[in-house]
C-alpha cells in the first residue's frame, strides 16, 4: 500500500474526524479562529466553483499566472495519483511530513471536523506560510456551506459548468437547488466570472446574482472560435490561437477560453498566454498514455486513453471527442456510488465495441462489477468483468488498431496512473 493511501486511511480512521459529508461552516471557522485566522493571510484568493471543469480551469489559470513570473498556490480535489497533489505551494507539492505535522496541529483543537475540512485546513495553514501571489481554491461538492467558502474578500469567484451532479447532497433534489447552493452565496465584494452554461442554468444564475454587487462577467463577452481546423479564443480585443496537442476536446477548450479571459483581465500579455497554451496538460482528462508498465502490455497499434469523466456532461464531452477519432473504441469502465451509471453510459450512444468493467482499487464506494456489466449489456454492449486493470487489458489487447479507453472515475484513472 502506498504512503499516500496509508495517510488518507489514517485520516479516515481518525476518531476525531468524520469521513461523511456534513456541510456546516461553524466547525472549520472555529478552528480557523483558534489558529489566528490564517485564511486572512492568503493573497488574491480565487474560488473555483461548479460541477464540471473546476480542475481544468484552475490548472490552465495556474499555468498562465506562473508564466507571468508570479507564484500561485492551489488546492484541488480530488487528487489523482497522490494526496500531495491537493496542495500546490507554488514550486512544489507539500511533503508527507508537512501534511502529517499539520494534521497534528489541527488535532490539538479537538474539533470533530470532516475529512474534507481537515484537507482544506492543511492547505490554508501551509499556504499562509508560503505567502504566494495567488491562491486558487477548488470548491468541493457545493459551495454555500463548503469548507472552501471561508474567505471574506476573494479576488475572484469563477463558476464553471453547473449540472445535476451532487443531488444526493441537497434536500430538494432539483437542478435549481444545486445552482442555488453553488451560486447563491457568492461574495458581494469580488469579481465573478460565469463560464458557458445551458440556457436554463444561465437564467437561474442571473436571477440569483441580480442583486449581487460584485462585477459579473458572463461568457457572452468571449468565445471559442473555429476557423477551418484551428481553434481560437476571441473577444473584442484579442484573438489567440489555441495551439495544443494535449487539449483534445471542445469542453476542455471552453474552460481554457475562460482561463484566458481571466488571465487577460489579470494583465497577463496575450503573447505570453499564446506561448503557454502548448505547455498546459490536464491529468486524466482525455489524456493519452504513451509509455509505462501498462503501455508495455498493449500492442503498438493500440492507443491508451484515460478520462476521469463521471457525470453525464463530462461523458458527453468524452463521447464527442471519441466520435472524431475514426477508430474502434474498447472501454474499461469503473465508477463510484452516488452516480447514475445507466444515464452516464447512455451518453456514449453505442460507441464502444466492447466494455470491460473493473472495480476501483482501495475505494469502498466502488460500484460492483456485476452491476456495471449488467448496465452495459442493457445498453446493448458486449461486456464482461475483470478483476483488475491488468486482466482488463489482457481481455482487450490485440493486433487490431484501436483506442483502449479507461473511463468513469478520477479514482480509477489515478489507480491506472499509479500502476503505469
Q: Check which CATH number belongs to the domain holding 308 and give it.
A: 3.90.190.20
Q: Which residues sit opposite 352 in a β-bridge?
A: 329
pLDDT band, very low/low/confident/very high, at 317 (cuts 50, 70, 90) = very high
Contact between 304 and 404 (Cβ < 8 Å):
yes
- Sequence-distant (6+) residues with CB within 8 A of 31 are 106, 109, 111, 113, 117, 121
Query: Domain boundary residue among 279, 313, 339?
Result: 279
Question: How confident is the model over 392-420, as a mean pLDDT?
Answer: 96
Answer yes or no: do 239 and 329 share one domain: no
Question: How confident is the model over 294-321, as a mean pLDDT?
Answer: 96
pLDDT at 1 over 70: no
Q: Check which CATH number belongs to the domain holding 174 and give it.
A: 3.40.1190.10
Answer yes or no: do 175 and 229 share one domain: yes
| pLDDT of the residue at 370 | 94
Answer yes or no: do 156 and 13 share one domain: yes
Instruction: Using the structure block, give the residue that is written with the C-alpha cell 489541527.
Output: 106
Query: Domain boundary residue among 233, 259, 279?
Result: 279
Answer yes or no: do 89 and 63 share one domain: yes
Contact between 274 and 67 (Cβ < 8 Å):
no
Query: Domain boundary residue among 263, 279, 295?
Result: 279
Answer yes or no: do 106 and 240 share one domain: yes
Question: What pTM was estimated for this model as a whole?
Answer: 0.94
Mean pLDDT of the chain: 95
> What letter would DSSP give residue 94?
P
Count CB neighbours of 133 within 10 A: 15
Q: Which of 93, 136, 80, 137 is nearest to 284 (CA)?
A: 80
Q: Which of 139, 159, 123 is nearest to 41 (CA)?
A: 123
Do the bridges between strand 87-89 and strand 72-75 make them parallel or antiparallel, or are there none, so unpaired? antiparallel
Answer yes or no: do 98 and 196 share one domain: yes
Cell of 330: 474498447
Cell of 2: 502506498
Q: 342 lies in which domain range? A: 287-419
pLDDT at 187 over 80: yes
Contact between 147 and 183 (Cβ < 8 Å):
no
Answer yes or no: do 269 and 318 share one domain: no
| pLDDT of the residue at 127 | 98
> What letter would DSSP give residue 220?
G
Answer yes or no: do 200 and 78 share one domain: yes
Q: How many domains does one find in the chain? A: 2
- Name the region of 326 (left: φ>0; alpha: ψ -120 to 50; beta: rest): left
Amino acid at each position: 500500500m502506498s504512503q499516500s493511501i496509508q495517510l488518507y486511511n489514517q485520516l479516515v480512521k481518525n476518531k476525531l474526524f468524520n469521513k461523511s459529508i456534513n456541510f456546516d461552516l461553524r466547525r472549520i471557522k472555529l478552528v480557523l479562529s483558534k489558529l489566528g485566522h490564517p485564511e486572512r493571510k492568503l493573497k488574491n484568493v480565487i474560488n473555483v466553483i461548479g460541477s464540471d471543469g473546476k480542475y481544468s480551469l484552475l490548472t490552465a489559470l495556474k499555468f498562465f499566472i506562473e508564466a507571468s513570473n508570479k507564484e500561485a498556490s492551489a488546492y484541488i480535489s480530488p487528487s489523482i495519483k497522490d494526496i500531495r497533489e491537493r496542495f500546490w505551494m507554488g514550486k512544489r507539492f507539500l511533503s508527507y511530513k508537512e501534511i502529517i505535522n499539520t494534521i497534528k496541529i489541527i488535532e490539538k483543537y479537538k474539533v470533530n471536523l470532516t475529512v474534507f475540512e481537515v484537507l482544506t485546513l492543511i492547505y490554508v495553514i501551509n499556504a499562509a506560510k508560503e505567502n504566494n501571489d495567488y491562491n486558487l481554491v477548488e470548491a468541493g461538492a457545493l459551495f454555500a456551506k463548503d469548507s472552501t467558502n471561508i474567505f471574506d474578500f476573494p479576488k475572484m469567484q469563477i463558476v464553471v459548468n453547473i449540472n445535476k451532479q451532487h443531488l444526493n447532497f441537497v434536500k430538494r433534489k432539483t437542478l435549481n437547488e444545486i445552482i442555488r447552493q453553488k451560486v447563491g452565496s457568492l461574495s458581494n465584494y469580488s469579481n465573478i466570472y460565469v463560464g458557458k452554461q445551458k440556457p436554463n442554468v444561465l437564467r437561474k444564475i442571473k436571477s440569483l446574482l441580480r442583486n449581487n454587487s460584485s462585477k459579473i462577467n458572463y461568457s457572452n463577452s468571449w468565445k471559442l472560435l473555429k476557423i477551418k481546423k484551428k481553434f481560437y479564443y476571441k473577444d473584442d480585443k484579442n484573438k489567440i490561437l489555441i495551439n495544443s496537442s494535449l487539449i483534445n476536446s471542445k469542453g476542455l477548450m471552453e474552460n481554457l477560453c475562460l482561463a484566458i479571459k481571466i488571465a487577460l483581465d489579470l494583465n497577463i500579455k496575450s503573447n505570453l498566454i499564446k506561448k503557454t497554451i502548448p505547455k498546459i496538460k490536464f491529468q486524466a482528462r482525455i489524456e493519452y498514455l504513451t509509455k509505462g508498465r501498462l503501455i508495455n502490455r498493449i500492442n503498438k497499434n493500440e492507443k491508451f486513453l484515460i478520462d476521469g469523466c463521471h457525470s453525464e456532461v463530462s461523458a458527453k464531452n468524452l463521447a464527442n471527442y471519441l466520435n472524431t477519432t475514426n477508430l474502434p473504441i474498447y472501454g474499461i469502465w469503473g465508477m463510484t456510488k452516488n452516480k447514475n451509471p445507466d444515464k452516464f453510459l447512455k451518453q456514449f450512444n453505442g460507441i464502444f465495441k466492447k466494455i470491460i468493467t473493473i472495480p476501483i482499487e482501495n475505494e469502498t464506494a466502488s460500484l460492483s462489477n456485476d452491476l456495471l456489466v449488467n448496465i452495459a449489456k442493457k445498453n446493448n454492449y458486449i461486456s464482461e468483468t475483470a478483476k483488475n486493470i491488468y486482466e482488463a487489458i489482457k481481455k482487450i489487447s490485440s493486433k487490431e488498431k484501436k483506442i483502449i479507453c479507461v473511463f468513469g472515475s478520477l479514482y480509477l484513472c489515478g489507480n491506472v496512473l499509479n500502476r503505469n
